[in-house]
Amino acid sequence: MTIAETSKKYDLTPDTLRYYEKIGLLNRVPRTPNGIRDYDENSCKRIEFIKCMRAAGVEIEILLEYMALLEKGKTTVTARKKLLEEQRIKLLEKQKNINATIERLNYKVALYEEIESGKRKDFT
């Protein structure tokens, strides 16, 4: 796939894809004989992974470390697993905080609905 097709498919700008390649997140993107990027299945799998991790808030530096380990092969499986486990712990903590915030918002919305409907007169 061309960079335009890949950009559209993954809802990323071509500049973002180029940036990911430049900093080493997307290594070895194949090119046509004319030098045009030709994203293959492996490149697309990496883009999907990167996009998923970034959407969850995983930092670029962590992804760079992970991709560098990935490039080194099987000998880094334990290190990669540890890195992902650490990120999972961070995400679970974020999830806990988000859930608490949602509960607080649900309470406030219900309170305002009671006030609007006249079931509650005081405001707290």
d(Cα 17, Cα 25) in Å, to the nearest integer?
9
* Residues 66-74, mean pLDDT to the nearest whole number: 95
Domain boundaries, the chain: 1-72, 74-124
d(Cα 46, Cα 98) in Å, to the nearest integer?
28
Contact of 65 with 80, CB cutoff 8 Å: no
> Which pLDDT band, with edges at 50, 70 and 90, does 27 fall under?
confident
d(Cα 37, Cα 33) in Å, to the nearest integer?
10
Q: Domain spanning 1-72 has what CATH number?
A: 1.10.1660.10
Tokens of 99: 């859930």
* pLDDT at residue 17 tops 70: yes
Contact of 88 with 51, CB cutoff 8 Å: no
